[in-house]
Structure 1
């Protein structure tokens, strides 16, 4: 009787474990699969996209059921054009570029925030020996920016306006980041707007000095960039993008540890260990916050970059709104 009872008990345990396994397998098999198993994501600035790059390199997305291929964007690429021409599925871009495109009629769908500025992560810089040592000293400064009517001109106007400069008197000259030091040295411009890692490189190699922190005052903790797709792609691939957002949020969690970001930069790009150890870092949001992003759109509207106020919440997938 005792042996018979033990056999019944063992059988019951086996059946119970089997039923649990069967239930788990059924649950997994019934989960809807993403419409696309592979996404091509256009990426730019390595500091701002570090968590995504780290997540891809460490297999986080692949283990989560989504293959992500990173397409490197050149500085002169138009990320919105690459998106609308379907050369990439999702693209990294400055919030200014995305909101300007949305205001002009491009149906944009925000899939995640990439980066929010931290102290010293974007700034107006000059070279040693210049007489331009106070942001309010020149009434009509010439400023180098990487793109016309972009994040650089928006935040430079804000910083210089706070210093007493009339924004309408500022002249912006489009200069690629790698040409800004030469533009300063030749006297082509009075100051240059830089972000990391170019900012730290200019300080380390050329003795560049910060004239004004562009992540201060009205632009403190300012949203800089996001990941987006077209509304058409979003509507056709809702499960794929829901999974992408979930996995992106996990990748962005890595950005909460600045040490992890700094250690990853040399192997993700050609940034050397010394530069990586001292770059000024912002933060990496794990979800889209429409209210925070609205600050960008409202500043664009107030400075004349947008003719009408843009409702950023209309660009966020409905399920992602708080």
Structure 2
């Protein structure tokens, strides 16, 4: 379970922040909502290696079934920081649900890590075949939706006539196998799993052209928390930055995929990893609301730079 990540030692140790990191943090215990996804590997490394503890932080992970649930927990005050794909944060803020500040980056789409896949006998053999077909995404105005539409537009394929079907990632393979859908947007490890277990084949990469290296997910707090606790945010960033550097070693990542994302060991060894990142870059992040605006996910342009937390010493 995610709630047990890092072991009892990290969650049950001393709250005396003078033992490590900054002794004057605004608070020493924070809750972070997570999901069982492979791009959380750096977070798990930070927990297991005691990097948060070194900063004087006790981090309590909280399970969330999806990015939207994670976001809801943040808005409701159940957690201090939430992990999610970027799109729900921008959509929620655009609708006035809350004001957010991004505190750390998490991942971006590397080649072949986010793809449209289909069964070998599917009528969808290429991107040109998508029009008029049933295609699974997680839900409208999500990363799966916007990345797919962007690549279709780039290739002059009409996405307005696609029959978009909302499904959670774990249900997509079964829907493909039954013929309920013609194709599906998948990320890893679902791409590799569907290929290994069903013989599903890639149709096209959704991280190409305008969406190459596209920012996919990150961590955010409510703006009030970031403004009132800049030292906590800086401590969180330092720990995540250190763990993200560690994550360059794939041998450290695969066991975490098995333990926390519940990925089969063989599939973990074959999976194409997203690009792990921790430092926020306003110009890079701006690509997310720009794409959402282009495809109607938000109705007005948003400035991503205003949503990046300002800290005391996040080096």
Fold-level similarity (TM above 0.5): yes
- What are the within-5 Å matches in structure 2 for residues 43-82 of structure 1? 43-75=34-66, 77-82=68-73
Question: Do residues 88 (structure 1) and 79 (structure 2) align?
Answer: yes
> Over aligned residues, Cα RMSD in angstroms?
2.2
1:268 corresponding residue in structure 2: 260
Quote how far apart the aligned CAs of 1:265 are.
Answer: 2.0
Aligned pairs, number = 296
Q: Is the 8 A contact 1:256 1:283 kept in 2?
A: no
Q: Which has the larger radius of gyration?
A: 1
Closer/same/farther in 2, CA of residues 29 and 182 from structure 1, 3 Å limit: closer
Paired with 1:91 and 1:136, the residues of 2 have a C-alpha distance of: 37
Quote how far apart the aligned CAs of 1:161 are.
Answer: 2.2
Closer/same/farther in 2, CA of residues 308 and 269 from structure 1, 3 Å limit: closer
Cα deviation 1:24-82 (Å, max 9, x = unaligned): xxx99996511211111111242111010121022221122111111121137522211
2:133 corresponding residue in structure 1: 141
Q: For 2:112, what is the secondary structure of its paired residue?
A: coil
Quote how far apart the aligned CAs of 1:195 are.
Answer: 0.8
Quote how far apart the aligned CAs of 1:137 are.
Answer: 2.1
Q: For 1:256, what is the secondary structure of its paired residue?
A: coil
Q: Is the 8 A contact 2:20 2:54 kept in 1?
A: no
Paired with 1:123 and 1:188, the residues of 2 have a C-alpha distance of: 19
- Among candidates 140, 155, 159, match of residue 147 of structure 2: 155
Q: For 1:109, what is the secondary structure of its paired residue?
A: strand
Structure 2: give runs of 5+ residues left out of the alignment. Answer: 1-17
Closer/same/farther in 2, CA of residues 29 and 119 from structure 1, 3 Å limit: closer
Closer/same/farther in 2, CA of residues 35 and 50 from structure 1, 3 Å limit: same
- What are the within-5 Å matches in structure 2 for residues 242-321 of structure 1? 242-319=234-311
Quote how far apart the aligned CAs of 1:139 are.
Answer: 2.5
Closer/same/farther in 2, CA of residues 32 and 149 from structure 1, 3 Å limit: same
More divergent stretch after superposition (102-111 vs 263-272): 263-272
Paired with 2:314 and 2:161, the residues of 1 have a C-alpha distance of: 39
More divergent stretch after superposition (67-76 vs 188-197): 67-76
- What are the within-5 Å matches in structure 2 for residues 189-268 of structure 1? 189-268=181-260
More divergent stretch after superposition (216-225 vs 278-287): 278-287
Quote how far apart the aligned CAs of 1:147 are.
Answer: 2.2
Paired with 2:161 and 2:300, the residues of 1 have a C-alpha distance of: 23
Question: Do residues 101 (structure 1) and 65 (structure 2) align?
Answer: no
1:41 corresponding residue in structure 2: 32
Q: Is the 8 A contact 2:230 2:310 kept in 1?
A: no
Paired with 1:309 and 1:60, the residues of 2 have a C-alpha distance of: 37
Paired with 1:114 and 1:286, the residues of 2 have a C-alpha distance of: 5
Paired with 1:31 and 1:226, the residues of 2 have a C-alpha distance of: 24
Cα deviation 1:224-262 (Å, max 9, x = unaligned): 001000011122222211211111111111222233222
Quote how far apart the aligned CAs of 1:95 are.
Answer: 0.7
More divergent stretch after superposition (181-190 vs 195-204): 181-190
Q: For 2:219, what is the secondary structure of its paired residue?
A: strand
Cα deviation 1:266-311 (Å, max 9, x = unaligned): 2334212211111111212231011101111111111111111110
Q: For 2:39, what is the secondary structure of its paired residue?
A: coil
